[in-house]
A and B are shown apart, each in its own frame.
Chain A
Amino acid sequence: MRRLLSIWLPLLAFALFLLFPFYWMVLTSIKPNEELVSVTANPFWVAHPTLDHIKFLLSSTSYPRWFWNTMAVASAATALSISVSFSAAVALARLRFRGSEGVSLGIYLAYLIPPAILFIPLAEVMLKLGWFDRLWALVPVYSTFLVPFCTWLLVGYLKSIPRELEEAAMVDGASRVRIILEIILPLSAPGLISAFIFCFTLSWNEYLYALVFMSSPAHKTVPVGLATELVRGDIYQWGPLMAGALFGSLPVAVLYFFFVEHYVAGMSGALKG
């Protein structure tokens, strides 16, 4: 009885609130239009499920293209950011040099600068560089918010690797580069997995930069494509829109379920100085 009140009832309330929008996404994407706009039908159920919305999304819109765009940009930005962050993190966490405190502070401040205040001047930079409406331009742009976060995450992780291993290798005459590649890199695997999940998830979630810098339908990402090509005037295509939101959430959700522990560890690790 006590457990019912202290665990199960509140848990049920949270589950209803936190998971309902996902149920709504799934339900809407298989509900025929007549039922979607019906005033008499029970809105919480579907009488005649259909795949029409999904077929429409895949054949009559550029959705598959947006999906692969997002996948490509997220993968490339993740690869770039992890390499750049790992080398910076090694320097900050494992090597002693003058000015390392200042660099750490700079990385931390960079993490707190939101894209929201950079997109206007960055639009000018993109125009001057001729990077406007170029899909690959999103790769270095996304790295600007991924690198500070990952570096911070990896510095925290690298600091937890005991120095004795390094010192033993140094006594054996190994060079610093070899120590980094053969000792530190393999030991950082869990930290790198966390960084990978965060980079990929954050890239997949990005909206503002892609919205401002990409203009042709062939260069859009999933969130931007759905928001600009499927939401037009007063005709909302709820079925295809929800199907698109559902499929667009899947890659991130699958990755997350595979690595929940790394995700949670990374998120709580990032809150430590």
Chain B
Amino acid sequence: MRGLSLDRGPLLPTLLLVPSAVLLGGLLAFPLVLGVLLGFKDATIGEAGNFIGLDNYRYLLTDPVLRITALNTALYTLVTVVFKLALGLALALILNQRFAGYRFWRSVLLLPYVVPTVLSAFAWWWILDPQFSFISWALIKLGILDQHVNFLGSAWLARASLMVANVWRGIPFFTVGYLAGLQSIPKELHEAAAIDGASGWRTFWEITWLLLLPLTTILTIFSAIFTFTDFQLIWTITRGGPANATHLFVTLAYQRAIPGGALGEGAAIAGFTLPFLALLAWAALDALRRQA
């Protein structure tokens, strides 16, 4: 028996795992640690900086922009996830019925999720243009408004506009997830409910919704993680403006660290998301294990 054999023992699995370990260790785990450390330094672009303890965090806690960012991130995540869930489930319920052209509609309606975010964000930016938006044009024609709406010019309109664009992109994620979930519900349950004379709404809430609940938990957690670390949509459409009203943690971190040069401060802003990420990752793991 040879000592080193590919046919038994840990040599083969070790060899198979080395490439991913090198890649993820060097360019994922190492930067993650570096990033946490950087949050405690006054590093700028070109200056390695010194350890300054909690100064970055202390300063940021007094920064009104960070407070707006935190509230905005929470609101943005909460509102869009609720809408994405509701509309995504509604679309899945429609597509789950068999009708002519079902495959075509399913393929086409998932497109917003497939197309690169920045590219579709350009389209939204143009749709929301202060001078040439067709929405303003239509509202004026209909006699509802008498002047153009500056969608990205005021804080609340800009926030609402970004939420609509985010919901637009995120609906298919829930739809695909729910379509798979709906197909795994035994038909007999719905047939039995129909024989008992249960109404459509009751059947939905007491059978479909209940059985989809574990899946809903997983979809919601994943969507929340991707939403609150969103960068592309916000940076393309508003760059965090007007007057820092639409920043999320990541856009603010980018603005301070890269164009602004304050690497340490940017890393600390990103650091604020870590506890939430850890919490959501743990919740997702728990939900996945319970499902299995």
Across the interface, which residues of A come within 8 angstroms of B78, CB to CB?
none
Inter-subunit contact A24/B126 (CB<8 Å): yes
Of the listed stretches A49-57, A96-104, A160-168, A186-194, name the one at the interface; the rest are far from the partner chain.
A96-104
Task: Name which residue of chain A comes closest to B45, CB basis.
Answer: A123
> Smallest distance from the beta carbon of B43 to chain A beta carbons, Å?
8
With contacts A205-B117, A252-B114, A272-B291 known, is A44 near B134, CB below 8 A?
yes
Across the interface, which residues of B come within 8 angstroms of A249, CB to CB?
115-116, 119-120
Inter-subunit contact A144/B108 (CB<8 Å): no
Report the Cα distance A263→B292, complex, angstroms: 22
B101-130 interface code vs A (CB 8 A; 1 in, 0 out): 001011111111011111110111011010
Task: Name which residue of chain A comes closest to B257, CB basis.
Answer: A120
The yes or no answer to A245 lying at the interface (CB within 8 A) is yes
> Smallest distance from the beta carbon of A18 to chain B beta carbons, Å?
5
The yes or no answer to A125 lying at the interface (CB within 8 A) is yes
Task: Name which residue of chain A comes closest to B292, CB basis.
Answer: A273
The yes or no answer to A11 lying at the interface (CB within 8 A) is yes
With contacts A6-B97, A43-B132, A175-B7 known, is A110 near B24, CB below 8 A?
yes
The yes or no answer to A116 lying at the interface (CB within 8 A) is yes
Inter-subunit contact B119/A222 (CB<8 Å): yes
The yes or no answer to B213 lying at the interface (CB within 8 A) is no
The yes or no answer to A201 lying at the interface (CB within 8 A) is yes
Inter-subunit contact A125/B31 (CB<8 Å): yes
Task: Name which residue of chain A comes closest to B233, CB basis.
Answer: A207
B256-269 interface code vs A (CB 8 A; 1 in, 0 out): 01100001001100
> Smallest distance from the beta carbon of B8 to chain A beta carbons, Å?
8
Across the interface, which residues of A come within 8 angstroms of B231, CB to CB?
116, 207-208
Interface residues on A, range: 35 or more
With contacts A3-B99, A112-B284 known, is A226 near B27, CB below 8 A?
no
The yes or no answer to A7 lying at the interface (CB within 8 A) is yes
Report the Cα distance A92→B88, complex, angstroms: 33
Q: From residue 200 to 231 of chain A, which have CB atoms closer than 8 A to chain B? A: 201, 204-205, 207-208, 212, 222-223, 226-227
The yes or no answer to B4 lying at the interface (CB within 8 A) is no
Interface centre among A21, A44, A148, A257 (most CB of B within 10 A): A21
B1-35 interface code vs A (CB 8 A; 1 in, 0 out): 00000110010111011011001100111111011
Across the interface, which residues of B come within 8 angstroms of A207, CB to CB?
116-118, 231-232
Mostly helix, strand, loop or mixed at chain B's interface?
A: helix
Inter-subunit contact A177/B6 (CB<8 Å): yes
Inter-subunit contact A122/B7 (CB<8 Å): no
Report the Cα distance A112→B103, complex, angstroms: 31
A127-144 interface code vs B (CB 8 A; 1 in, 0 out): 000000000000011011
> Smallest distance from the beta carbon of B256 to chain A beta carbons, Å?
10
Inter-subunit contact B215/A271 (CB<8 Å): yes
Across the interface, which residues of A come within 8 angstroms of B132, CB to CB?
36-37, 43
With contacts A17-B168, A208-B254, A271-B218 known, is A28 near B6, CB below 8 A?
no
With contacts A24-B126, A120-B266 known, is A253 near B277, CB below 8 A?
no
Across the interface, which residues of A come within 8 angstroms of B75, CB to CB?
none
Inter-subunit contact A208/B17 (CB<8 Å): no
Task: Name which residue of chain B comes closest to A108, CB basis.
Answer: B285
Inter-subunit contact B13/A268 (CB<8 Å): no
Of the listed stretches B57-65, B171-179, B190-198, B202-210, name the one at the interface; the rest are far from the partner chain.
B171-179
The yes or no answer to B244 lying at the interface (CB within 8 A) is no
The yes or no answer to A147 lying at the interface (CB within 8 A) is yes
> Smallest distance from the beta carbon of B116 to chain A beta carbons, Å?
4
The yes or no answer to A19 lying at the interface (CB within 8 A) is yes
Inter-subunit contact A267/B176 (CB<8 Å): yes
Across the interface, which residues of A come within 8 angstroms of B284, CB to CB?
112
Across the interface, which residues of A come within 8 angstroms of B236, CB to CB?
227
Interface centre among B12, B107, B218, B289 (most CB of A within 10 A): B12
A49-92 interface code vs B (CB 8 A; 1 in, 0 out): 00000000000000000000000000000000001110110110
With contacts A114-B229, A207-B117, A245-B123 known, is A88 near B17, CB below 8 A?
yes
Contact for B277 among A113, A141, A147, A273, CB less than 8 A: A113
Across the interface, which residues of A come within 8 angstroms of B267, CB to CB?
120-121
Task: Name which residue of chain B comes closest to A36, CB basis.
Answer: B132
With contacts A88-B17, A112-B281 known, is A223 near B118, CB below 8 A?
yes
Inter-subunit contact A18/B109 (CB<8 Å): yes
Could you give 28 example pairs across A and B, Cβ below 8 Å? Answer: A11-B94, A15-B105, A18-B109, A21-B123, A22-B123, A37-B131, A83-B19, A87-B17, A107-B20, A110-B28, A114-B277, A116-B249, A117-B270, A118-B31, A121-B32, A144-B24, A176-B6, A176-B7, A177-B6, A208-B231, A208-B254, A227-B236, A236-B126, A256-B111, A264-B106, A264-B180, A273-B288, A273-B292
Supplied contacts A114-B225, A117-B32, A124-B38, 14 more A-B pairs, CB within 8 Å: A18-B168, A19-B108, A88-B16, A112-B277, A112-B284, A118-B31, A122-B27, A123-B257, A144-B24, A204-B116, A207-B118, A223-B119, A238-B129, A263-B110
